[in-house]
Amino acid sequence: MLTLAKITTYQSFDGDADGWSRKRSSDRSGITDGDWRLIEELRQGINLVSSGQASPEFTVTFERRLLALVPDKELRQAIRELKA
């Protein structure tokens, strides 16, 4: 399950999984490799949708998936605010 602490950790490393993996022993957020991949996948989907590059079908499917995976509105907003 994603948390704001995990999003903050992802953001503090600017999405650099290699940098995070080298320093993960000092991380207390509980983020896992799977969480990292999910955040990256969601961030990419959001960027596709917001840039207008996604089809209407993808947009609807993606937004449903985002809502199902991240029911917390504040957390979804934090993911939307991640750098492209």
Q: Comparing C-alpha atoms, which of 26, 73, 69, 1 is closest to residue 9?
A: 26
Phi-psi region of 52 (alpha: psi -120 to 50; beta: other; left: phi over 0): left
CA angle 52, 41, 45 (to 5 degrees): 10
Residue spans per domain, the chain: 4-80
Phi, psi angle pair for 31, to nearest 5°:
-65, 140
* AA identity, residue 17: A
Q: Answer for the pair 78, 4: CB distance below 8 angstroms, yes or no.
A: yes
Task: Please tell me the pTM assigned to this model.
Answer: 0.90
Each residue of 52-81: pLDDT tens digit? Answer: 999 999 999 999 999 999 999 999 999 999
